[in-house]
Amino acid sequence: MPADTHADAPPSAAYADAARAEYRLLRRLMIASLMLGCAGCFAFNMVDPDLWGHVRYGQEWIEAGQMHRTATHTFTAEGYRWVNHENLAELAFAWGFDHLGVGGMLIAKCLAGMLIIGLMLMVAGWRGVRPLTACAFLLLVAVNLKAFFPMRPQLLSFLCCAAMLTLLEAAFLHWRRPFRTHEPAQLPARPAIDWRPLAFVPVVLVVWVNSHGGFAAGVCIACAYLFGRGVEMLIDRRPGDLPKIAGLAAVAAACVLAVFANPYGTGLVAWMAESLGSPRPEITEWAGPKPSDPIFWQLVALGVANAIAWGFTKKQRDWVKIVILMLVAWQAVSHLRHIAFFALLSGFWTPPHVQSVLSAMRSKAANGLEIVRPAPLMKWAAVAAILFTTYVQTRSLASRLLVLPVASNQYPVDALQYIEDHELSGRLVVSFNWAQYALAALAPDTTVSFDGRFRTCYPQEVVDMNFDFLLGEHGGARHRSPNSGPIDGARVLSYGDPNLVLVDRTYPHAVEVMRQQSADQGGRWSLLYQDAISQLWGLANRYDQPTSPDYVAPDSRSIGDQESTRLVQWPAFPQRRGGVASRPQPEKLQMTRRADERTIPPSPGA
C-alpha cells in the first residue's frame, strides 16, 4: 500500500490541500453551469424571417443540380441577375432540414455555438488562462452572440471567423517583439512564426466567401492583423525579417484572392462594393444599437469588460489586437450586425487580460489571509444552488432543442391558410418580413413582389417602391435611387400587375395606403381577410364580381380582429385542401410563449 503522502506533512498543509480540493469541486460545478449558460444562448430558437427562403433555395439547387443565376419566385425582377453569396449556407440548411429535421438542426446550431466557445477556451488555455475565469468571461460573449444565433447563414460567418482567429493565434502564439516594455531579457527576442496555421487562413476564407457576406469583415480582420505584424517587424528591423514580411504579404494576398473563389468571380466583388457603398436605413440590423434594443446593455457590459481588462492588465498589450478591436467596436456601435464580430474578437483576445486584472485583485484582497475551508453548510448550500441552476438550465435547453416555433401572432399563419383554403394564387405584394415565408409556402402558384434577398436579386427601383409602400418617408430616413422618382406608396400595387396584397398591420403606412386604395378609384382593392396582425386584399374586379372564376363571396370572407396565439412547428405551411400533404403540414404545439420569443420589430430587419 502506498504511503500516505500527507502523513509527515504539518496539519496546516493537509488542511490547505483539503480546502483546495473542496474549492476545486465548486469550481468544476460552476464551470459546468457556465457552459450550460452558453449552450442556452446558442439554443435560441426564434425563427428568422428569411429561413424559409434559404431552405427553399437550397432545396431547389439540389433538385435542379445547378444554382439559379437569375431571380426566382418573383414577378418584379424576372430575369434579373441573382448574386447568391450564401449558397453553401443554403445548401447546408436544405440538406440539414431534409435529413436531420427541425430538432437535429437545432442541436447542430447549438453545437456550432459551443464549438466556437470551445475554440476560445482552447486559445485561452494556450495563454494560461484559468478555466473558470475564461468560462465566466465567455458567458458574457455568448450573451452578446445570442441575438445573432437564430438559424441563418450568419452562423457560418461566425464559425469561419472563429476558425480564422484560432489559426492566427496558433501562428503567432509565441510572438514577442523586443521593443515592447516588460520584455524579459531571458526570453527569445523573436521566435519563428508557425507558417502552417497561416497557410489555412485563405482556405477558411474560400469557404467563408461562399457562405455569407460577412467574409468582407473576415478579409479585413485577417489583412489588418498580418499588416500589423509586418509593421512590427519593420519597426524592429533585424536580419532575416524581410523574407518573413514577404511571407506575411503573400498570405494577405492569398486572403484577398480567396474572395474571387466564388461562382461569380469578380462579379461578387463588384456587387459587394456597390451594395456596401449604399446606405440601408430601412434595415434595422444596419442601424446603430439603441438603449431600447435588447442587445444594447449586453454590448455595454462587454465594452466595459474589455476596457477594464485591457486598461488595467499587467500582461503585455498587443497593439495590433487593440487597434483591430477598437475598429470593430466602432463598427459595432454603428451597425447592430457587427456586434457579433466584436464579441468573437473579445472571446479570443481578451481572457488573458481579464485573468490578469482578477489575479491582481485577488492577490491584493487575500494578502496575509490564510486558506480557509468552507463551512459544511455553506459548501453544500453552494453545491445545491449550482445543481439546481444546472437542472433549470438543462430543462430549458432541452425544450429549446425540440421546437422551432412559428408564432401565429407574429407570422401570417392563419392568413396563408385562408389563401390555401380559398385557392387564391398569383402575384402577391407582401410585407418584407413575411415575404420568404409566403414565397416558400405558396410556391409555385404564387410569386412575390419583393423579399429578404434585397439587392442580391432586385433592382434598387423595385426595392424603393416596396419600401415606399411599407414605410413611406420613414421620417426622412430613406436611401432611394434617383431613378425611382418621388415616394409613391401605391406604385407597387400596379407594377407587374399584382392581384393580391398581404399587409402586416404593424406597418401603419401600408394599412393607410390600402384603405385609400379601397376607397379611391372606385374601390380598386377589396378586403378578403383580416385578423389582428394581417390584412389580405384582392383586386376588386377579380374577387368582387360574381361572374369571375376567382369570385370570393361575402360569406366566404373572414374580416375581424381576432388574435391567435398558437405556436406552430416550423415550417408552419398551410394544410393542403383534402389533406394532401404536398407541403409539410403544421404541427400544433401546446406551448406557452417565453419572454425571449420577442415579436419582430415594426421596422423590417435583414
Query: What pLDDT score does 599 carry?
Result: 33
Q: Look at residue 1 and tell me whether its pLDDT is greater than 60.
A: no
pLDDT average, residue stretch 444-456: 93
Residue 521 half-sphere exposure, CB side, CA atoms within 13 Å? Answer: 15
Bond before 571 cis per omega within 30 degrees:
yes
- Which of 346, 323, 352, 337 is CA-nearest to residue 124? 352
pLDDT of residue 333: 92
Q: Coil, strand, or helix at residue 551?
A: coil
pTM, rounded to two decimals: 0.86
Percentage of the chain exceeding pLDDT 90 = 66
pLDDT-based confidence at residue 588 (cuts at 50, 70, 90): very low
Q: What pLDDT is stored for residue 130 in this prediction? A: 94
Mean pLDDT (whole number) for 423-438:
95
CB 149, CB 41: distance < 8 Å:
yes
Please compute the mean of the pLDDT values over residues 237-253 and round it to a whole number: 90
* Cα–Cα distance, 269 to 216 (Å, whole number): 10
- Model confidence at 582: pLDDT above 60: no
Question: Which one, of 11, 5, 12, lies nearest residue 371 by Cα?
Answer: 12
Q: Which residues of 390-414 are buried (b: 16+ CB within 10 A; e: fewer)?
A: beebeeebeebbebbbbbbbbbbbb
Q: Are the C-beta atoms of residues 305 and 138 closer than 8 Å to each other? A: no
**Neighbouring C-beta atoms of residue 211, cutoff 10 Å:** 24
How much is the pLDDT for 531? 95
Question: Confidence band (pLDDT; 50, 70, 90) for 598?
Answer: very low
143 to 8, 106, 324, 601: CA distances (angstroms): 49, 18, 22, 20
pLDDT score for 594: 33
pLDDT over threshold 50, residue 6: no
How confident is the model at residue 601, as a pLDDT? Answer: 35
Count of Cβ atoms closer than 10 Å to residue 241 Cβ: 15
Q: For residue 191, what pLDDT is reported? A: 58
450 pLDDT more than 80: yes
pLDDT tens figures, 176-189: 754 444 444 444 45
Phi-psi region of 73 (alpha: psi -120 to 50; beta: other; left: phi over 0): left
Burial class for 533, CB neighbours closer than 10 Å (0-12, 13-18, 19+): buried
Which pLDDT score is estimated for 187? 43
Indicate the domain borders of the chain: 83-365, 408-589
Return the number of other C-beta atoms located less than 10 Å from residue 240's C-beta. 9
Of 105-114, 135-144, 367-376, 528-537, the range with the lowest mean pLDDT is: 367-376
Tens digits of residue pLDDT in 294-338: 889 999 999 999 999 999 999 989 999 999 999 999 999 988 889
Read off the amino acid at residue 5: T
